[in-house]
Amino acid sequence: MSEDQGREVAGGEERRQLDVVAVRSGQFGVHGSGDTSGFGGLQVAVVEPEDAQRPYGGWFDEVVDVLREVLAEQGIDPDRAIEKVVVSHGELTLHLSPAHLVAACKALRDDQDLRFELCLGVSGVHYPEHTGRELHASYHLLSVTHNRQLMLEVTCPDSHPHIPSVTTIYPGNDWHERETFDLFGIVFDGHPTLARILMPDDWVGHPQRKDYPLGGIPVEYKGATVPPPDTRRSYS
């Protein structure tokens, strides 16, 4: 057990320590003299959010309880489907296992006590240091019936970047999943036509990943050519 994980006793009470994924230096996370922001000495810890403790507050407990009940009725172990419940900044986030994402979305949409009818899309996040969980997909759900919002989060590794598509539950996610695939490389299994949507079909790499090289392509603008960023200034 590392010093950044587990539990410790402080002031006679048990306090859960944060899971530190990485520590970034400077304003842009670069090393050496490449940081031109003036914040080269800044260090920020990237931490995995804590599993919230009950009571979560407000309607959060009701939603979690109903979802667990519906999943159990379908023969799904709620403890395996819902990996973690996070309450932060007044928002409820459910961390789900990829294998149970579709079932959870269907329950959230269809159950009369949940009714999260609308998914506002999916976006990707890349944490290169988060071994085995480098790629995150975040879904924002809205209940028009109950005027509630929550977020779902699912992770997958760089070595196997596959997450089930939810287009059968939320058809409006079609282009959002294509964009996340295009820019982050997450493959949404079961998507009807998963193809790039912003970059050309023959483009190599996924531009919003942290390991994607900065610049490298000259840009033409009204007859003038702007050299690629990596030939104008070094950031590493």
What DSSP string runs through 110-179?
H-TTT---EEEEEEEEE-TTSTT--EEEEEEEEETTTTEEEEEEEEE-TTS-EEE--TTT-GGGHHHHHH
> Burial code of 46-59, b = ≥16 C-beta within 10 A, e = fewer?
eebeeebeeebeee
Query: Beta partners for 189?
Result: 164
pLDDT digits (tens, 9 = 90+) for 31-82: 655 666 677 778 888 888 889 999 999 999 999 999 999 999 999 999 999 9
* Position 168 pLDDT exceeds 70: yes
Q: Which CATH number fits domain 50-213: 3.40.630.10, 3.40.50.11240, 3.30.460.80, 3.90.550.10?
A: 3.30.460.80
How far is residue 193's CA from residue 176's CA, in Å, rounded to a whole number? 12
Question: Could you give the C-alpha distances from 17 to 1, 11, 94, 150, in angstroms and in order?
Answer: 12, 14, 20, 25
The rounded mean pLDDT for the chain is 85
The whole-number pLDDT of residue 196 equals 94
Kindly calculate the radius of gyration of the chain based on its CA atoms and give it in whole angstroms: 21
- How large a percentage of the chain has pLDDT more than 90? 61
Burial class (CB in 10 A: 0-12, 13-18, 19+), 235: middle
**DSSP label of 76:** -
Cβ count near 177 (within 10 Å): 26
Cβ count near 39 (within 10 Å): 13
* Position 118 pLDDT exceeds 60: yes
Confidence band of 215 (pLDDT split at 50, 70, 90): low
All CATH 3.30.460.80 domain ranges in the chain, comma separated? 50-213
